[in-house]
Amino acid sequence: MSVEFAAFCELHEPRYQSYARVWFPEHGAAHRVVRLALHAIAEVWPTVLESSNPAAEAWQILRDTVTAEHAAEAGETGLRPDVDRDEDLAILHYVVGLATPEIADVMGGDTANITSQLRQTHRRRATDW
């Protein structure tokens, strides 16, 4: 494991775990899914680092892993995390409790854009309620 990847894991794994627990309430399942995602990221780590936005690339791998693993359990629950970016932002902010700079860091976005998207999502959701 490279020093860069170890640092990435140390920074992002706790946030990834918090996000995964939304979809996998059992701690062991959330932990397993995040480990799968980190393993998938490690397999393509040089490509992730070479991308224009490594955090966004890694976040997409996490989301793909969460979706695939949750779909595998869908027969039991009937639920799938078919959420879009706005819903991910809302989950990270309102459920996980991350501030916008932390969300920007974990998802690979710009803090100002994240703040704007959260406001828009909140306004849209409020009209749906």
pLDDT tens-digit series, residues 34-72: 999 999 999 999 999 999 999 999 999 999 999 999 888
Alpha helices in 1-129 (DSSP H): 3-23, 27-43, 45-50, 54-72, 74-77, 85-90, 100-107, 111-128
CB atoms within 10 A of CB 102: 16
For 21-44, write each residue's pLDDT tens digit.
999 988 899 999 999 999 999 999
Cα–Cα dist 97/122, whole Å: 15
Q: Average pLDDT of 109-120?
A: 91
For the four alpha carbons of 120, 123, 128 and 129, in that order, the dihedral sign comes to: positive
Q: What is the mean pLDDT of residues 110-116?
A: 93
Q: Do 100 and 115 meet the contact criterion of CB atoms below 8 Å apart?
A: yes
17 pLDDT above the threshold of 90: yes
Question: Whole-angstrom Cα distance, residue 125 to residue 123?
Answer: 6
